[in-house]
Amino acid sequence: MKPDLLLLPGLTCDAAVWAHQAATLSAVANPIVPAWGLLNSLSDMARLALSQSQQDRIWVAGHSMGARVALEMWRLAPERIAGLALLDTGAHPRAEGEAGDKEERARMALLGIAQRQGMRAMGSQWARGMVHESRRDSAVFDAILDMQERSSAAQFEAQIQALLSRPDARPLLSTITCPLWLLCGEDDAWSPPAQHQAMADLVPHATLTLIPTCGHMSPMEQPEAVSQWLLDWWQATAA
């Protein structure tokens, strides 16, 4: 029986974000991509993800919000996690005061667009800042909009709530004993490389890789490079 590999999608994303990686890793693992539905907390998402496998030991890769869910999985069941791969993400909580209020207002403004005009209209504004400038108005960008259109304003609202109430995972990073690999697009303006370096600094055995010509949506923007990176991670951690 192949080991289970949990591939955790981010905000408004579904299995399409991991399509290339799931196909590549299926030769050595059983890829599982959870659907978050209307869950509105990272902890509940982590419990759902843990329930997707009956194996004692699992490998977990998370993108963006999904990587925060992966950290919550470690918090809840560290004995089950054999390896962690975190892509284009962060570990900090919502900021206090005006900075946190500004984040909430920005997210609520996007939700308003989704509720009034639909998820594709929201994505056409939001996702432009999520990809490398060379991929705006490209086939990859259209695929991202298609994915967001398959979501709903209700799901978007639930996931926004999960992110606004996110815990501070920075103290958790120093407790990670399993292999931890971090990846970030060099041009990720949403979760920049410096943010990943700060995370890596808290885990002495962590490795950090930057993908050139790549924004926040690395699994879809640079699918071959990310798939190879995940395969290398798998081979290093599952040996």
Give the pLDDT confidence of 159-170 residue by residue, as tens digits. Answer: 999 999 999 999
Q: What pLDDT was estimated at residue 48?
A: 98
Contact 218, 13 (CB under 8 A): no
**63 plus 123 within the same structural domain:** no
Q: What is the pLDDT of residue 222?
A: 98
Domains in the chain: how many in total? 2
Whether residues 181 and 229 share a domain: the answer is yes
Q: Considering 161, 194, 210, which residue would you say is the last residue of a domain?
A: 161
Q: Residues 175, 62: one domain?
A: yes
> What's residue 232's pLDDT?
96
Within 10 angstroms of residue 134's Cβ, the number of other Cβ atoms is 13
**For position 238, what pLDDT does the model report?**
82
Split at pLDDT 50, 70, 90, the class of 142 is very high
Do 121 and 224 belong together in one domain? Answer: no
Judging by DSSP bridges, how do beta strands 180-185 and 4-8 pair with one another? unpaired
DSSP conformation letters of 130-178: TS-GGGTTSHHHHHHHHHHHHS-HHHHHHHHHHHHT----HHHHTT--S
Q: Which domain holds residue 230?
A: 4-93+168-237
Instruction: Tell me: do 19 and 88 sit in the same domain.
Output: yes
pTM for the predicted model, two decimal places: 0.97
**Distant-in-sequence, close-in-space partners of 68: CB < 8 Å, separation ≥ 6:** 42, 62, 89, 90, 91, 163, 166, 169
**Each residue's pLDDT tens digit, 55-68:** 999 999 999 999 99
Question: What tens digit of pLDDT does each residue of 169-208 get?
Answer: 999 999 999 999 999 999 999 999 999 999 999 999 999 9
The structure tokens listed for 26 are: 């299926």
Same domain? 86 vs 174? yes
Residues 130 and 27 in one domain: no
Residues 36 and 110 in one domain: no
The mean per-residue pLDDT over the stretch 78-94 comes to 97
Per-residue pLDDT for 239 more than 70?
no
User: Given strand 180-185, what is the order of strands in its sheet?
Assistant: 30-32, 4-8, 58-63, 81-87, 180-185, 207-211
Q: Is residue 194 within 8 Å of residue 184, measured between CB atoms?
A: no
